[in-house]
Amino acid sequence: MPIAMIHIAAGRSEEKKHALLVNVTQSIAESLEVPVESVRVLLQEIPETQWAAGGKTLAERRLNKA
């Protein structure tokens, strides 16, 4: 049973997250030639204040771009 774990910044719509889950599931099933029902995809949303790159959180980076 393949398991994929995806971490994304919080804030996307339920529709976008659902599409991601469906597309990743389908891609894994096709790539590994396994039934879709055997694929597990875990999606974890990380708040922008708890995700940093280069010492700045995503929230700080967003503010600096505005």
* Residues labelled as active-site residues: 2
Q: Give the chain as a DSSP string.
A: --EEEEEEES---HHHHHHHHHHHHHHHHHHHT--GGG-EEEEEEE-GGG-EETTEEHHHHHHHH-
